[in-house]
A and B are shown apart, each in its own frame.
Chain A
Amino acid sequence: MNSIIPYLIVGAIVFVLGIFTIVYKKNAVGILMGVELVLNSVNINFIAFAKFVDTGIHGQIISIFVIILAAAEAAIALAIILNIYRMKATVDVTQLNKMKH
């Protein structure tokens, strides 16, 4: 608890699980979940370094920006996914091979 290593290990495990989710899921929403896992694990790394290495809390500011970007990314991705679903009636990313209908 008073060492940086447990936090880094949690971050690493969740990062790996996020990458695995991105590769494993065929559903576009599932891939989005993997991206959220990756972003969260990056956040915990930033905050852990802000507590244990930095004298200020600059890491926390960075993770605020990461959260902002994650929110924007989720909104846009969902809009795109809904559009694809309306056009092709599927969200299976292996079935999508056209940029425009």
Chain B
Amino acid sequence: MEMQEVLFYAIMAFTIFSAVIVAFANKLIHSAFALLFTFVGFAGLYIYLSADFLAVTQIIIYVGGILVLILFGVLMTQDIYDVKAIAAHNPLLLSLGGGAFTAIIIAVLISKKPWFTLLNKEFAPTTATIGKLILYEYLLPFEIASILLLGALIGAVYLARAEDKDK
């Protein structure tokens, strides 16, 4: 096996392993840090899919933004000394059943052959293409997304602000 391939399977195992920790860790803070490694592993897989721009976006937005928000949420809302609340989960068998049901559906779908004819595209920088596509073909969704982000910004500030009890 080539070096590239070895690295690919290592990243794959790393991603899946940290996703398993996210799902099964007892303490939420462990899940949050495992989520960090899952996101980084996904960024590595994006590079193998010749999505260089998205790999960097993944690092910046997920690791730099969403993960910090989640850590913030974990630390703000959890009494870290309350052992009973930390270990509280829904019934394991029920959850495993739900997961297995989804797994069966997806396994049936993936095992259906043949897939589409696969292209073998060369690695190429994608940033210029993405910029052109966003500003021509996907201009309307792009603008809608910006309005959505503005709305989310205002909504989050409104929801999270300290309630004025005296009024």
In the complex, which residues of chain B have a beta carbon less than 8 angstroms from the beta carbon of A72?
Answer: 148-149, 152
Main secondary structure of the interface of A (DSSP, over half): helix
- The contact string, 1 if C-beta is below 8 Å from chain B, for chain A 1-38, is 11111111110111111111101111111101110110
B residues within 8 A CB of A4? 115, 118
Q: Which residue of B lies closest to A74 (CB)?
A: B66
Task: Choose one: A28, A55, A65; the contact of B141 (CB below 8 Å).
Answer: A65
Contact flag A33-B99 (CB < 8 Å), given A52-B118, A82-B76:
no
**Assembly CA distance A72 to B145 (angstroms):** 10
Further 12 A-B residue pairs, CB within 8 A, beyond A17-B22, A78-B160: A9-B110, A12-B107, A20-B98, A23-B99, A37-B22, A50-B51, A55-B119, A64-B57, A65-B141, A70-B62, A70-B66, A92-B85
Count B interface residues, CB 8 Å.
79
- Taking A24-B90, A63-B54, A85-B77 as contacts, is the C-beta distance between A40 and B70 under 8 angstroms? no
Q: Output the least CB separation between B158 and chain A (Å).
A: 8
Question: Looking at chain A, what size class is its interface with the partner chain?
Answer: 35 or more
> In the complex, what distance in Å separates the CA atom of A94 from the CA atom of B79?
17
Given known A12-B106, A37-B19, A83-B159, contact A67–B58 (CB-CB < 8 A):
yes
A51/B121 in contact, CB under 8 A? yes
A75 to B65, CA, bound (A): 9
Residue of A23, A53, A57, A70 touching B130 (CB-CB under 8 A): A57
